[in-house]
Structure 1
Amino acid sequence: MEEKKPSSSKEFIECISVLQFIATFLFLGPICVALMVYLMFTSLWILPVLYLSWQVLDWNTPERGGRRTFFVRNWQVWKHMADYFPFKLVKTAELSPSKNYIVGCHPHGIMSLGAFACFGTDRCGFPEAFPGVRSCLAVLGGLFKVPLYREYVMSAGLYPVSKASIEHLLTKSGQGNAVVIIIGGAEESLFSSPGVNTVVMKNRKGFVKLALEYGADLVPVYSFGENDLFRQVVLPDGTVGRRLQALFKKVVGFAPCLFKGERFLFMPYRTPVTAVVGSPISVPKVPSPSQEQVDHYHQQYMEALTKLFHQHKKSCGLAESHQICIT
């Protein structure tokens, strides 16, 4: 049966929904800063002064549970954005609402669109697939220092990827919290290219130590198709451009990638993205884990991720010859 294509009006709404996310991701933070600076030199200078004074008092709120709202997480725009690609969440095992989890999401991609759609909103079916479990996407902590922008990301239920924030979610927010961390981070984004399945995590063990300290089970997730959404200009190791990317990442916290989309430069390719949620790895609570214990569960996690990739690669559109590369 021939697949039914979306109507022109539906396709337009989907494109606008995706573009608003891209614009928000790339430009909303700088716009918020520019607005505050501009207002400081107008007759409305009292507004930024009052807001910034309040922000200082509210500084630690993102690491203390934030201000998550059902309204923002369920905006219809997220459903239209998910339909554009489309995004799909696949469940392979149950997650008990009586436990907490640290979910490792791979790969990072250019903008982590799949991770945001599946775990930063409720429009890809996470609440229905895992009743009683709350997905908590942890992102770059610097976003929560940007005036005004911080209110938006907190309302979407995003949290800083810091120890204090994760500790609060795993110890003071009850049970049934799934803290989603994009393990490879900015470094992994530099490997993002179509057909590439490179995961940066051999030396990323902090999430395993946190899981042991708080007795949170580990759950691997692989987003098939995430690296196919943009075409990146990959700069070879040792070149001036690559060194500048590494320096920028070290100073700012994220890597500036040179990429293009299918249309209008930033419009991602209409490629299906399937986030497959693996089985939880049971982790004991060890307040002061040894390095051997951390290494043991880190190895278990890498093996589980590799197994998950190979079990689902064909059903997600990859050839049998595709391999996952863990660096």
Structure 2
Amino acid sequence: MTKGKTQGKELLEVVSVLQWVLSFLFLGLGCAILMVYLMFTSLWPLSVLYFIWLVIDWETPERGGRRSTFTRNWKVWRHLRDFFPVKLVKTAELNPNKNYILGCHPHGIMSAGAFTCFSTESCGFAEMFPGLKSTLVILAGLFRLPIFREYIMSGGLCPVSKPSITHLLSQTGKGNAIVIVIGGAAESLASFPGVNTVVVKQRKGFVRMALEFGADLVPVYSFGENELFKQVIFSDGSLGRKLQDLFKKIVGFAPCLFVGERLAFIPYRTPITIVVGSPISVSKSITPTEDEIDHYHRLYMDELTKLFHEHKVSCGLSADHKLQII
């Protein structure tokens, strides 16, 4: 038993993290199967009514979603935070009269740190950055899954699509902190304990959006994210990697073969420290040139590297750990 924790508290933490992992992996598919199944039962009107609602409500996720303070404050998220535990670290002030795009790295298997810090209130983002509202943007396809879309919207999540980010940065005033896990599925395939690889060299869309709307860029590093699961890494060119790349191309994410500390799905109890870096001031340019995009992209990568090296030792890494940007 972890020092200072009762058996009951530890059990609550394990149950909380297990429900989150299982929801991440299976809830979306399960909701879709359930709605189709109900179509062939006496409860078919429920499915019909919901699908009518789905058509009417189709564009809501890209119009800011339907955030619920109640959902974001569930006690289960505090137990999820305490399991690892997850800690949010502030290194600079963020002016609530501006908008921001926060690039979070690395993706890891499930982005546990990003979810806990930016889609729940358990880590104190609102208190640490008064006047700012964090919105984690994720794979747009997940918002097409019935019922599941309502659940993730209630947590304040929105699609990582241009219409969605455009709405958030232009129609909802100031004080928006849009959080993008830049590396996405490609980065998840490089997730393994002891590895610090981020995929960002060819990812410039977030910089273009920042320029178009004059949103400052903020690098964020999630120390410990890659330590939560052990993944089977397929070498480039192998059949396993080709299948992963094909799946990623078709559906937008890559299936990872991984194992946790217990019951395969329970991650390792490794501390996660989300460090929010200093903002990079971005000048608004409605039609940015490639030179402008490249300039701010280089600044961003430099600041991300600086953030990593300044905080790696205090966040549990040795001084000789390197950050690989691909």
Partner of 1:63: 62
Identical-pair percentage:
66
Partner of 1:136: 135
How many angstroms apart in 1 are the aligned matches of 2:32 and 2:58? 16
Q: How much does 1:6 deviate?
A: 1.1
Deviations 1:214-249 (A, max 9, x none): 000000000000000000010000100000000000
Whether 1:150 aligns to 2:149 is yes
Letter in 1 for 2:293: V
- 1:70-149 alignment, distance < 5 Å: 70-149=69-148
Please give the root-mean-square deviation of Cα atoms over the aligned residues, in Å. 0.7
Partner of 1:66: helix, strand, or coil? Answer: coil
How many angstroms apart in 2 are the aligned matches of 1:281 and 1:222? 15
Q: How much does 1:181 deviate?
A: 0.1
Deviations 1:123-180 (A, max 9, x none): 1110110001000000000110000100000000000000000000000011100000
Deviations 1:249-294 (A, max 9, x none): 0001100000000000010000000000000000011000000000
Partner of 1:284: helix, strand, or coil? Answer: coil
Whether 1:6 aligns to 2:5 is yes
Deviations 1:65-91 (A, max 9, x none): 110010000100000000000000000
Partner of 1:49: helix, strand, or coil? Answer: helix
Partner of 2:319: helix, strand, or coil? Answer: coil
Over 6 Å off, 4+ runs:
none
Q: How much does 1:97 deviate?
A: 0.7
Letter in 2 for 1:214: F
Letter in 1 for 2:83: Y
Partner of 2:306: 307
- 1:16-27 alignment, distance < 5 Å: 16-27=15-26
Letter in 1 for 2:117: C
How many angstroms apart in 1 are the aligned matches of 2:289 and 2:75? 46
Letter in 1 for 2:110: M
Letter in 2 for 1:109: G
- 1:279-318 alignment, distance < 5 Å: 279-318=278-317
Letter in 1 for 2:100: Y
Partner of 1:48: helix, strand, or coil? Answer: helix
Q: How much does 1:5 deviate?
A: 3.2
Partner of 1:237: 236
Whether 1:259 aligns to 2:280 is no
Letter in 2 for 1:46: P
Partner of 2:48: 49
Q: How much does 1:189 deviate?
A: 0.2
How many angstroms apart in 1 are the aligned matches of 2:189 and 2:30? 26
Letter in 2 for 1:299: R
Q: How much does 1:44 deviate?
A: 1.1
How many angstroms apart in 1 are the aligned matches of 2:121 and 2:94? 16
Q: How much does 1:30 deviate?
A: 1.1
Letter in 2 for 1:228: E
Partner of 1:323: 322
Partner of 1:32: 31
How many angstroms apart in 1 are the aligned matches of 2:271 and 2:194? 13
How many angstroms apart in 1 are the aligned matches of 2:199 and 2:4? 37
Partner of 1:161: 160
Letter in 2 for 1:7: T
Letter in 1 for 2:241: R
Q: Structure 1, unaligned stretches of length 5 or more?
A: none
Letter in 2 for 1:17: S
Letter in 2 for 1:63: E
How many angstroms apart in 2 are the aligned matches of 1:60 and 1:202? 31
Q: How much does 1:4 deviate?
A: 3.3
Letter in 2 for 1:177: N
Letter in 1 for 2:234: L
